[in-house]
Structure 1
């Protein structure tokens, strides 16, 4: 069933992320805070290179993309970020305490994404995988197309 969440932003979102990461047994370091802040500041999915560039500019020193990738792996494991597989990019998860399979609607025109939580749909995907003898961990569903704003602009 699809549902909505309170979407914390700014400092509230950083506080939620820090608390979630610490509950997962990880440390909230200055670099992790910087990467999460940069990720949360993007209005589209961001690649590790986008984030490395943003953090480098903010800190006045070069931050390597491979360092950002390692941090993103920690964030995904702790549910602080979600990976948009087809774009090899990431979005901040504004409700990390709530674990759902997500569906990404990806606009091929402008690059915007919409993140939906709809467990009724992903339940069917999980069931089909199990029927095939596969144990699913977390389905990733992406629907590529054109968003309403781009359709109107065309």
Structure 2
């Protein structure tokens, strides 16, 4: 198992609210506790926090959301951006994986990060009415090309009930 950051177990929506932001401190970031690879800034007094990839080869960031309801649709994703001096993302597409529960039935989406300023990567998940485990799990991955990468900021993950 790789070291990761994880301060809270799972994000949950509260009351009638239909959108949840999952802050960087609540994400499972592989090697996130290694200060040489990641910088995790917690927002203070109205500032927005972020997780910054400083020098990563194995890029894996996962979000988990408990509290989804069977028979409903959710949009899940990540709000990310690249710094001006970001490197290593050329020819290294990032993939987003989504699944319901701890199932092997998942979907993958591909995003090229070349020449982009502000990015959002998302997918729609429909939870079957018969689902026993309605945990939403989704993540960003680039673990295949073997290049060092830097300059990607993760502002937050999100879950929106549709």
Higher relative contact order, chain-length normalized (CA < 8 Å, sep 6+): 2
Bigger fraction of residues in strand: 2
Same fold (TM over 0.5): no
Bigger fraction of residues in helix: 1
TM-score normalised by the chain length of structure 2: 0.25
* Higher-Rg member (1/2): 1
